Structure formats: C-alpha cells, structure tokens
Structure 1
Amino acid sequence: MINTLFQRVVLSRLWLTFVVLGVSFLVGALGTLNLVSLLAANLQLLREHGVMALMDGALQQLIELVAQGFVSCVAYVVFKTCEHRLSAWLGGGA
C-alpha cells in the first residue's frame, strides 16, 4: 500500500520526486552525523558503568540512537528510489 501510494503521489511527479530526493538526503545526512561515535560512546558507558548507566538513561539513549539509525536507513532507501526514477527519466527510460 505504501509502495503504491509513494509511486502514485511522488514518483509520478518529477518535481516532487526531486524535492523528496533533497529532503531524504538531508534527513539521512543529519541522521547519520556522529551516529557511530555516539553509539560507540554509549556502549562504552554501558560497559564501564553497567546498571548505574542504565538508571541514568543510557538504555533510552541507546534505543533512540538505534531508532535514528533506522530512520536514516529509510531516508537512504527513499533517496535511492528517487534517484533511480530521476536517472531513468534523464536517461530517456521514462
């Protein structure tokens, strides 16, 4: 359903495809900025301080970092889909 809706609403309009491509690029870039270093620091905090770190919110932060990673992955997939559509149009395949 989401696939069909995305194709019908976004991919059928080249200008909207370009806008969504730009937005998804920015979301993916901002979502992955420092994500690896923050995740490593959070895991090190959990390893060093254990239960005390969990009580101070390290588990919540870890869950938020993992969710941010998944959002970045979705943004990347949307970006690549829009890129494929625009590349096909520019190449004469649409």
Structure 2
Amino acid sequence: MTPNRAHLWLQAHGLACFVLMTLCFLLFGWLSLDLVRQVSANASLIAAHGWDALLDGGAQQALELLLTAVAAVAAWLGFKLCEMVLVQRLAYRR
C-alpha cells in the first residue's frame, strides 16, 4: 500500500505534524466533552414525550449530536494519523 500525499507531507514536516496532532486532540476533547450525557438526555426526552419532543426540536438536536460525534471521530482519526507518522519517524529515524 502506498502512502497518500497527506501522509507523505506529514512525514516531511514533523513539527507541523505535531502541531496538527495537538489541535486534533484538543478538538476531539472539546467535541466529545459531555456528549454522552447530552445524547442520553435527548433520548430520554424523546422516550418520555414521543412525537411532541421530536417536533419540538428533539430530532434536530439528535441530528446535531450525531454530526458532533462524527466530527469528534474525524478529529480522533486525524490525531491517530499524526501519531502514527510521528512514531514511524522516531522508530525508523535514519
């Protein structure tokens, strides 16, 4: 498997990779902070009030929470990519 351009760029720019990894880590933490409690509260509201809760904004909030979770996973994947590149740089340093 050949690395893509982003992977090659990150390999060539170690400091930028570290900064990006730090930003992805902070973004993941910020996005996932209290996400479980909010999803649980939204599900409880919908379970308790049914259709009225969905029409009153529960469905929109559920969609927003889903998009927040997707963005958090994307930030986590960015962190893991940078982590992999930096570990490879350290392990195979020439």
Under a length normalisation based on structure 1, what TM-score does the superposition of the two structures give? 0.87
Q: Which residue of 2 aligns with 1:56?
A: 56
Give the Cα separation in 2 of the matches to 1:53 and 1:11. 49
Q: Which residue of 1 aligns with 2:88?
A: 88
Give the Cα separation in 2 of the matches to 1:33 and 1:69. 10
Does structure 1 conserve the Cα–Cα contact (< 8 Å) formed by 2:28 and 2:73? yes
Comparing 54-63 and 9-18, the one that deviates more: 9-18
- Superposition RMSD on alpha carbons, in Å? 1.6
Q: Which residue of 1 aligns with 2:38?
A: 38
Q: Which residue of 2 aligns with 1:65?
A: 65
Give the Cα separation in 1 of the matches to 2:5 and 2:58. 38
Distance 1:71 1:12, change over 3 A: same
Does structure 1 conserve the Cα–Cα contact (< 8 Å) formed by 2:7 and 2:85? no
User: What is the CA distance between 1:54 and its match in structure 2?
Assistant: 1.1
User: What is the CA distance between 1:93 and its match in structure 2?
Assistant: 4.6
Under a length normalisation based on structure 2, what TM-score does the superposition of the two structures give? 0.87
Show structure 2 runs of 5+ residues with no match.
Answer: none
Aligned-residue sequence identity (percent) comes to 29
User: What is the CA distance between 1:15 and its match in structure 2?
Assistant: 1.0
Does structure 1 conserve the Cα–Cα contact (< 8 Å) formed by 2:11 and 2:89? no
State the aligned residue count: 92
Report the residue type matching 1:44 in the other structure. S
